[in-house]
Copies of this chain bind each other. A is one copy, B any other.
Amino acid sequence: MTLVRDLSEEQILDRIVPLLPRGSSTLVGPGDDAAVLAAPDGRYVVSTDVLVEDRHFRTRWSTGYDVGRRAAAQNLADVAAMGARPTALVTSLVVPGETELDWVTGLARGLADGCAPVGAGAVGGDLAGGPLLVVSITVHGDLEGRAPVLRSGARPGDVVAHAGVRGWSAAGLALLEAGLVRAPLAAVPLEVADGVVLEDAWERLVAAHLRPDPPLAAGTAAAVAGATAMLDVSDGLLRDAGRVARASGVRIDLDPAAFAADRDTLRSAARAVAAAAGLGDPGWGPGRADIDGLTDTWVWSGGEDHGLLATFPAGTALPAGWSAVGRVLEAGESAPAARVTIGGAAPAVTPGWDHFRA
């Protein structure tokens, strides 16, 4: 078994670089001081995100491949959320010397598979030693002549729509933490998108956590269809909807009926997690309140789903992958303390994930 510390930096790069996709926008790829990318639009979109071992992933659950897929996905989703087409990413990797080389080459394969659906390139990076794994990615995109779709463009009367899964990542994490699903998942890519249904529905939730599959094409489709605001839902639906509402100076009212199917999907996982946690009436299993509370928390406040939330002018035919989940109101139209309401009422669950506070 080869460890990272057995090789020089250049030897490691020699193993990684051939695994990475070049991408169609790449004029100069890895190997020089910098890459050169095409920007036919005369503008480009840039976003960066970092994954830290034991904060954002655990090596006992996530393979290098999983972390690569996830790092690519969450960065590409930020570009898609601007209405842009992702073109290329660069990666800074901090890696302990005792890491297996296979973990690092797996990461490269995961990045490559994460980029494949949109044809983005992996055009450069930096490699450093350190006491734990840190994967920092910066991603770029092409607006293809369109205006960027910001968070600030929602207008009263707009329809609020969502693309992607809701609460799956949080439910998958809870299943892992409760020991109810084995991880790491199989080395072959597990698709959580349409077309492939895993045997075990819980495993789909775990896959959504370990290898999120954001609806990237839905981002550009929304921009083409005239979305007025859009963002990547990474910190929970309520928190991220609140960001659109604040940036746009509006209120957002979510329709609870639009989330009924999500709650049905997640209920069996919630029942099992609640039972494993010893909630509810001993001898009778978890009560309905515990189970509903868990599903609600996952759906409304679960982070890292990397779906897209957008607003569209009323009457817009929503593009494929999008469904209406609420509407945009005047800032004064509901309780002043709540930027986001559910069926007109202030949410009963906590708003979502903060990186420094519980």
Contacts and interface: CB of A to CB of B under 8 A. Distances in A.
Contact of A48 (B4, B78, B90, B357): B90
A55 to B, nearest CB: 6
Given A42-B42, A124-B47, A130-B55, A33 B151 contact: yes
A216 to B, nearest CB: 13
Given A126-B50, A128-B56, A232 B92 contact: no
A94 interface: yes
A138 B31 CA distance: 16
Given A45-B35, A141-B34, A12 B356 contact: yes
Given A55-B129, A94-B134, A354-B9, A36 B45 contact: yes
B82 A36 contact: yes
A231 interface: yes
A34 B78 contact: yes
Given A32-B151, A55-B130, A130-B132, A47 B356 contact: no
Given A8-B354, A356-B5, A48 B232 contact: no
A244 B56 CA distance: 39
Nearest to A78: B33
Of the four ranges (under 10, 10 to 19, 20 to 34, 35 or more), the interface on chain A belongs to 35 or more
Interface centre among A81, A136, A150 (most CB of B within 10 A): A136
A128 B43 contact: no
A355 interface: yes
Nearest to A56: B128
A127 B46 contact: no
B42 A38 contact: yes
Contacts of A357: 5, 8
Given A33-B82, A130-B132, A134-B134, A90 B356 contact: no
Interface in A1-35: 4-5, 7-10, 12, 27-28, 31-35
Contact of A355 (B28, B127, B151): B127
A335 B140 CA distance: 44
Contact of A33 (B28, B39, B81, B88): B81
Nearest to A12: B356
Contact of A356 (B40, B129, B140, B230): B129
A52 interface: yes
B39 A9 contact: no
A78 B32 CA distance: 9
B45 A42 contact: no
Contacts of A40: 42
A79 interface: yes
Interface in A139-162: 139-141, 143, 148, 150-152
Interface in A299-313: none
23 contacts: A5-B356, A8-B357, A27-B148, A32-B82, A33-B47, A33-B79, A33-B232, A35-B45, A36-B82, A36-B143, A37-B43, A48-B91, A48-B125, A49-B92, A49-B126, A51-B128, A90-B138, A92-B136, A94-B134, A126-B136, A130-B134, A131-B132, A138-B138
Interface of A: 4-5, 7-10, 12, 27-28, 31-52, 55-56, 78-79, 81-82, 84, 88, 90-94, 97, 123-132, 134, 136, 138-141, 143, 148, 150-152, 230-232, 247, 354-357
Given A39-B43, A90-B138, 5 more contacts: A28-B150, A34-B79, A35-B47, A36-B148, A92-B136
